[in-house]
Amino acid sequence: MDPSPIELPIQRGKIGRAILACTACRASKVKCTRESPSCHRCSSRGITCSYLPSRPKRKARLDDRLKAIETSLSDLPKSISAQTEYIQPLECVTTSFQIHRTNGGWSRSSTLNEERVHKLVGGYVKHFHSMHPFINRLEIERLLKELPMLPTWPRINTALVCLMMALGEVHERPSPDQLYHRTTLPSSDGEFFPGRIYFDHATAALQGDTIQHVQGKLLAAIYLAQLRRLQDSYEYLFTAAQRIQACLGPMTRDREQDPALVLAFWTCLQLESEFLPCAFPRSGLSRYEWFVPLPSLQEGDDIEVLDHLINHIAWRKSMSQVLAQEIYPIQKVQDQLLKVVGHPGSTPSENILQARLRATCYDTLAAVYRPLLWEILNGSEKLPEGAIENFLQEGIKALLHSITAFHDVIGQLVFTNVCMTAHMKSQNMMVILMIYQSSTYGMKLAKLISREDLRALLLDTLSFIDLAESPEVAPDFKALREVVRKLDLFSHTGPDTPVSL
């Protein structure tokens, strides 16, 4: 009598079908009678009959995985505490909070009371808000009042305050051995940067789509530009520009926009224009230039600061039209410049806002003159007859005004993007040095600036370049230093042979 079949564990295949045959019958792809201990086919052939072990049921497998995950989560705090690098959350109490950070390369621990927070934010307002007032003063005061009540997890409100504090700490301590004895910038040597502890804490909260997140990205871009990290700075600026375009919607005129969004738009457009010498991709924000209204005065705004911003916007719009329509737009640029900054021979302003507007205007004029001056130096015949002498004289004046725009400013000098400011100075100084060594046109320069003044101006420019060194503009700075070395301007005899680029 054949042994009776018994129930065997069912093994599931790849597609969920039960595996009923023994291993030998399954390998031969024949039907198995499934007797135990040996099926009929295996018994008749005298081969070993075996069945695959059963797998645990699906529910049992899920339970095992769930227990493993719970065990891993229970061990997570221990593994985090064992890390060598951590950032402790911002702990806010009624009047003070602490930030701690440790890192293998550098460490710092500071306790910030209310007075310290207000001092750093006040430094931001003094040095940066006057140039880019995209956060209302009343909003800044509200953020400071609410700071002690914010939770420990990084929120965008906390992040905005931290970024303002980071910018305030960057220029907190003037250094007497830097440019003009008043410009302050963190050293690129070493592992610690002023304000970095606050910046690191803020970045965790910048991933969002609100106008406050856009403001946070703009603050981060300005901070990184202070550290000469141009690529990182532009990444924040680019993402802010993309979000602003999404908020603006279709390009239609006379469309009412949020005042904070309007300020963020014009600020972002200004900051992006300072990166033009770098080969970074454009965000497309300039397409909205003729559709976004001018900023309007809101409660808490400084009238002088807002007028300064509107003047910058008006200059930008007028130059966009002139440069797009004219082949030689010098006369129209000069006419607009007279309306904005007055007579070209006027004394540079002692006010930082007026000096900044003056620098912007003369930078534009210098950018128009530079290619013409290069053509003159190269003996080009494309220029109109009889205009070379006038182009040369007015062009040299424009370059000198651009370089010296900030020389009479009283107080501490702060630049939004010091690398691009240094780039403009180096370009202008390069042309001036080429004119200086020219046997044909060198006398024109000598009538406008003495050798001693030119030497002092060159020293200031070189010290600025040393201060603003970064990979993106390093080739320009290297070329200028090489020209200075060949010209030997600091000797009494001058260059032995003409320098050619």
**Which pLDDT score is estimated for 187?**
46
So what's the pLDDT on residue 244? 92
Rg over CA atoms, the chain: 34
Sign of CA dihedral 208, 139, 126, 276: positive
What pLDDT is stored for residue 255 in this prediction? 63
How would you class 18 by CB atoms within 10 Å of its CB: exposed for 0-12, middle for 13-18, buried for 19 or more? exposed
| Cα→Cα distances 97→91, 161, 190, 231, Å | 5, 13, 27, 32
Report the candidate in 275, 177, 292 with the shortest Cα–Cα distance to residue 222.
275
Q: Look at residue 430 in the predicted model and tell me its pLDDT.
A: 87
pLDDT score for 452: 84
Report the pLDDT value the prediction gives residue 460, as an integer from 0 to 100.
Answer: 83
Q: What are residue 100's DSSP bridge partners?
A: 109
Residue 331: per-residue pLDDT: 73
What CA–CA distance (Å, rounded) separates 256 from 292?
9
Q: What is the pLDDT of residue 247?
A: 87
Give the count of beta carbons closer than 10 Å to the beta carbon of residue 289: 15
Q: Is the dihedral of CA 375, 378, 379, 380 positive or negative?
A: negative
Residue whose C-alpha is closest to residue 404's, from 382, 432, 383: 432
Closest CA to 400 of 318, 345, 357, 466: 345
Rounded to whole angstroms, the Cα distance separating 148 from 92 reads 5
164, 230, 360, 395, 473 from 368: Cα distances, Å: 36, 25, 13, 9, 20
Residue 214 corresponds to which amino acid? Answer: V
The residue type of 94 is T
Question: Which structure tokens are listed for 401?
Answer: 């005004």
Q: State residue 171's pLDDT score.
A: 77
Beta-carbon neighbour count of residue 362 at 10 Å?
Answer: 25
Structure token digits, residue 443: 């006398």
In the chain, where the domains are located: 1-56, 91-288, 326-487
CA distance 485 to 467: 19
Query: One digit per residue, pLDDT tens: the chain, 501 residues?
Result: 444 444 444 444 444 455 678 888 888 888 888 888 889 888 888 888 888 776 656 666 677 777 777 776 666 555 444 433 333 334 433 333 444 333 333 233 345 678 888 889 998 998 888 888 999 989 999 888 887 655 555 588 889 999 999 999 887 754 433 333 334 444 444 345 788 888 988 888 888 889 999 999 999 999 998 888 888 899 999 999 999 998 887 766 666 778 899 999 999 998 888 887 777 888 888 888 888 888 887 887 788 888 888 888 888 888 777 766 665 677 777 777 766 666 555 556 677 788 888 888 888 888 888 888 888 888 777 776 677 788 888 888 888 888 888 877 766 677 777 788 888 888 888 888 888 888 888 888 888 888 888 888 888 888 777 777 677 677 777 888 888 777 766 554 444 333 333
pTM, 2 dp: 0.69
User: CA 150, CA 304: separation in Å to the nearest integer?
Assistant: 33
**No. of helices (H) and no. of strands (E), the chain:** 18, 6
CATH topology of domain 1-56: CD2-Gal4 (4.10.240)
pLDDT at 253: 63
Closest to 418 in 3D by CA, of 460, 378, 461, 468: 468
